[in-house]
Every structure is written in C-alpha cells, then in structure tokens.
Amino acid sequence: MKTYNIDTNGYYGEFGGAYIPEILYQAVEKLRNNYLTILESKDFQKEFHQLLHDYVGRPSPLYFARRMSEKYGCRLYLKREDLNHTGAHKINNAIGQILLAKKMGCKRIIAETGAGQHGVAAATVCALMNMPCRVYMGATDVERQHVNVERMKMLGAEVYAVHSGNKTLKDATNEAIRDWCSHPDDTFYIIGSTVGPHPYPDLVARLQSIISKEIKQQLLEKEGRDYPDYLMACIGGGSNAAGTIYHYIDDLRVKLFLGEAGGHGIESGETAATIHCGKIGIIHGFRTLVMQDEDGQVTEPYSISAGLDYPGIGPLHAHLAQERRATVMAINDDEALRAAFELTRTEGIIPALESAHALGMLPKMRFQPDDVVVLTVSGRGDKDLDTYLKYKDDPQINSF
Ligand SMILES: *Cc1c(COP(=O)(O)O)cnc(C)c1O
C-alpha cells in the first residue's frame, strides 16, 4: 500500500533528510539510533502518558461547535489544544523531548521560539525536570510576544534575543543551531516543530500524534465512526497539523486542508506562504520548499502571526502538497483576524493568531450538511490580545 509517511532514510518523497555540519553528526546519529527504541519502551510510554494526562490535562476536548456548524453548514468539531497547560499543542512535544533528553544523558536544553509558545513549553518542562534552559527568540518576536517572554523568565529560562535578519523565527533557529554546534556533547536541542534534520520531523510528528489518536476515540463516541470527512489545521512548521492527521494520513476517506500564512497576500512579497511561494532548497538541516530569491538566498518571510512567520515548511507537508494528498490554502492576515473575531463572538473561544489561519479556511470551503469536520485550535489567544484589540473597532475585521 502507498504510504505518505517517512521512509527508512528519513525522507518524505524528495523532502527531508539530514543536511548537517560535520560537528553535529554524532549527536544527530545518536538521536536517530535511539529515538524509536526509547519512544516505544514501556518506561517512556508510561511516564509520557501519565504527564500528558495529569500535567497537560489530556485528553483535550473535542467540542461540537453548534453555532459555527450552523453558519458553515456542516458538523464542525474543534480539537481544543488551546486548553492544554501552557496554552498550545507545543507542550505535548516538549514533554516527550525532555524525557528523551534525560534518557540520553543530556544536561542542558536549548530551544528556538517564534510566538513564544514553544519557548514557554520548553521552559516549563525544564523547570519540571530541573534542567538549565536557554531559549533563542528573534528580537521582533520578543517585542510582539512580550507576555510569553515574561513567562519564560519566571520559569527560570534564559531568553536570548537574536538581532540578525528580520529578527524572527528563522534567525532564532540559526542561532540555536550555532549554540548546538558549540556544545554537541551535553546539549539537547528541543525543536518545536516538524522541521530540522531527520529524525526530528518524525520524532515531533510521533509525539504530537496523540492529537489524532484522541480524535479517533472521541469521534467514535460522538459520531459512531472513528474518522471525519475533513481535517483542518494551520501550518507554520507543521507540528499541530502533523499530530492532527497522523493516524489518518493514508486513509483517503479523510480530506486534509492546511492553512499557511498568506501575510499581505502571496503576490505581495510580504508573505510566509511557503508551499505557494517556495522552491526546493535546504534550510535548518533538511530539504524542503524554501522561500528564496533567484540566487537561492532565503527571503524574509512576513506574517502577522509570529508562530507562522517561517520561510520553510516541514518535509511531510511539502510532500503531502506535492502529491495532492492535502489541499493547502494561503490565509492572509485580514482573513485570519476576521476568523479570530468570528470564533470569539460565535463560540466564546479566543484562538491564537496561528489557529485563526485554520479557521480562516472555513469561508472558502464547500461542505455537505452531514460532513463531519474536525479543526484543530492549536492554541489560545491570550498572547495575541494586544494585536486583536488594535482591530476591534475596524469594521472590515470585526463585524460583531
Ligand atoms: C507554534 C504554533 C503554531 C505553528 O507551529 P506548527 O508546528 O505548525 O504547529 C501554531 N499554533 C500555535 C498556537 C503555535 O504556538
């Protein structure tokens, strides 16, 4: 049977692999040789699932959104990752990776962050496990996501503001990789999305796959069948989407819709819509679609959403798009903002700006009335309130 999943060499079709400097070879090789054995061990499974249950608060609810369903003419369920401890799906992955780091004998943790949700998740698990933590964050993001910066500091992490490039996620990741190259022996790099050299994309997808495992059980209870007609999620690097689709990836009854950040529009030059605008290249240790100019220089991405402001995309998602297994839409800033106000005023749920890019696909869909749709709300919007309130009185954005 055809599978869309990773092959034994760490590729999804032509995307993925490990393109790393010599100095990191041993660290990446050690991870590659150990991750599956550790993840599948009884010990790991027990500790991981106990923490997901008692600490994160899983399973996260699958909520039937009645008013939104009426509006869009389908049966819309929201997978509520916004209700997790620390406010997003990132904590699932951070817990898994810190357990892995401990089992591999690493003493120091580094992480990169965009919106700050992965930084907060990493800082949280480091407090929990008593490990030193340094988080790299672009200086632009330090400003636009200051609440998360304060949270990381409170948790005892060192937040390192990065001033290169346009001072966002790409630049923070460059700096984290530089740190890793200087301390390859004792440092574990907790990557926050399905990106980076193999085995990270597969590792992160597996740790986030708890999302679709729960969706299966919850749909069976609520709908009497364990699969939806549609799965919808936003994609930055692709981890919440990977978790949402993991157990359905080869089930062709389920249509996959992914929302990437259009910024000011895919023709505007100010966009982070990598699948629409990218060409094949190498970034941060893996081969994928990359936004680049004619000389192959990575171009600066733009999105109102710090968590989606990245010029690459996970290799899984590049593959799903190329094979037309998934439909990818570019959702612009204004469409995402409108969707955030709509969910807030229709269901009383303030989504993260990132998640609003998944919601922003709804007005472009054509459903049948009994279609079962599951849309993942990857995080909550507390961190984005300053941005939202700027648009509250703009009738183009908030018609409520
Ligand atoms: C980080 C983040 C994203 C984007 O990352 P993915 O790896 O694509 O999931 C989306 N939503 C929220 C709330 C985030 O914090």
- The pLDDT value given to residue 88: 97
Q: What is the pLDDT of residue 2?
A: 83
- Is 378 tagged catalytic? yes
Domain 21-51+90-202 sits in CATH at 3.40.50.1100
Among protein residues, the one with the nearest Cα to ligand 1's atom 4 is 236
Query: Which atom of ligand 1 lies nearest, measured to the CA of 117?
Result: 15
Q: Is 90 a catalytic residue?
A: yes
State the catalytic residue, choosing from 193, 212, 303, 378. Answer: 378
Q: Tell which one of 209, 378, 380, 383 to mutate to probe ligand 1, the residue whose CB is within 8 A of the most ligand atoms.
A: 378
Region 44-72: mean pLDDT is 98
Q: What is the mean pLDDT of residues 289-318?
A: 95
Q: What is the pLDDT of residues 252-264, one digit of tens each?
A: 999 999 999 999 9
Region 42-51: what's the mean pLDDT? 98
Look at residue 174 and tell me whether its pLDDT is greater than 90: yes
pLDDT for 318-370, tens place per residue? 999 999 999 999 999 999 999 999 999 999 999 999 999 999 999 999 999 99
Q: Within 10 Å of residue 298's Cβ, how many Cβ atoms?
A: 19
**Residue type at position 209:** S
Q: Mean pLDDT, to the nearest integer, of 80-87?
A: 98
pLDDT of residue 42: 98
Q: What is the Cα–Cα distance from 88 to 76, expressed in whole angstroms?
A: 20
Considering the candidates 79, 81, 90, 167, report the single residue annotated as catalytic.
Answer: 90
Residue position matching structure tokens 């030059």: 269
pLDDT band at 177 (very low <50, low <70, confident <90, very high): very high
Sequence-ordered list of residues with C-beta below 8 angstroms from that of 216, at least 6 positions apart, any chain: 226, 227, 247
**Res. 240: pLDDT tops 90:** yes
Domain covering 57-88+204-391, topology? Rossmann fold (3.40.50)
pLDDT mean across residues, the chain: 97
Give the closest residue (by CA) to ligand 1 atom 3.
307
* Distance between Cα 235 and ligand 1 center (Å): 7
- At residue 93 the predicted structure's pLDDT band, cuts being 50, 70 and 90, is very high
For the question of residue 41 being annotated catalytic, the response is no
Q: Where are the domains of the chain?
A: 21-51+90-202, 57-88+204-391
Please, which residues have CB within 8 angstroms of residue 5's CB and are 6 or more apart in sequence?
A: 12, 249, 250
Same fold, 21-51+90-202 and 57-88+204-391: yes
pLDDT band at residue 32 under the 50/70/90 scheme: very high
Confidence of residue 238 (pLDDT cuts 50, 70, 90): very high
Tell the residue nearest (CA) to atom 14 of ligand 1.
307
Among 60, 81, 112, 354, the active-site one is 112
Nearest residue (by CA) to ligand 1, atom 2, is 307
- Which of 78, 90, 244 most suits a substitution to test ligand 1, by most atoms within 8 Å of the C-beta? 90
**E strands present in the chain:** 11-12, 15-16, 62-64, 75-80, 108-113, 133-138, 158-162, 187-189, 230-234, 255-263, 279-283, 286-290, 326-332, 372-377
Does position 232 have pLDDT exceeding 80, yes or no?
A: yes
Name all residues whose Cβ lies below 6 A of ligand 1: 88, 90, 115, 117-118, 193, 234-240, 307-308, 352, 354-355, 378-379
Q: Could you tell me the distance, in angstroms and rounded to a whole number, from the CA of residue 382 to the centre of ligand 1?
A: 14
Q: What is the mean pLDDT of residues 59-63?
A: 98
Task: Name the residue with tokens 């969707």.
Answer: 339
Q: What is the pLDDT of residue 342?
A: 98
* Mean pLDDT along residues 161-189: 96
- pLDDT tens for residues 115-139? 999 999 999 999 999 999 999 999 9
Residue 144 has pLDDT above 90, yes or no: no
Q: Which two tokens stand for residue 114?
A: 């965009």
pTM: 0.98
Atom number, ligand 1, closest to the C-alpha of residue 380: 13
Confidence band for 1, pLDDT divided at 50, 70 and 90: confident
